[in-house]
Chains A and B, each alone.
Chain A
Amino acid sequence: EAQVTQNPRYLITVTGKKLTVTCSQNMNHEYMSWYRQDPGLGLRQIYYSMNVEVTDKGDVPEGYKVSRKEKRNFPLILESPSPNQTSLYFCASSLSSVNRHTEAFFGQGTRLTVV
Chain B
Amino acid sequence: AQSVAQPEDQVNVAEGNPLTVKCTYSVSGNPYLFWYVQYPNRGLQFLLKYITGDNLVKGSYGFEAEFNKSQTSFHLKKPSALVSDSALYFCAVRASNTGKLIFGQGTTLQVKP
Contacts and interface: CB of A to CB of B under 8 A. Distances in A.
- Chain A interface residue number, banded: 20 to 34
Contacts of B103: 35, 42-44
The 8 A-B residue pairs with the shortest CB-CB distance, nearest first, are A97-B99, A42-B103, A106-B43, A42-B105, A106-B44, A43-B103, A101-B51, A100-B94
A40 B105 CA distance: 5
Interface of B: 4, 6, 9, 32, 34, 36, 41-46, 49, 51, 90, 94, 96, 98-101, 103-106
B43 A109 contact: yes
B32 A42 contact: no
Interface of A: 4, 31, 33, 35, 40-45, 48, 50, 56, 58, 90, 92, 94, 96-98, 100-101, 103-109
B100 A101 contact: no
Interface majority SS (helix, strand, loop, mixed), chain B: loop
A42 B100 CA distance: 14
A104 B101 contact: yes
A103 B34 contact: yes
B46 A92 contact: no
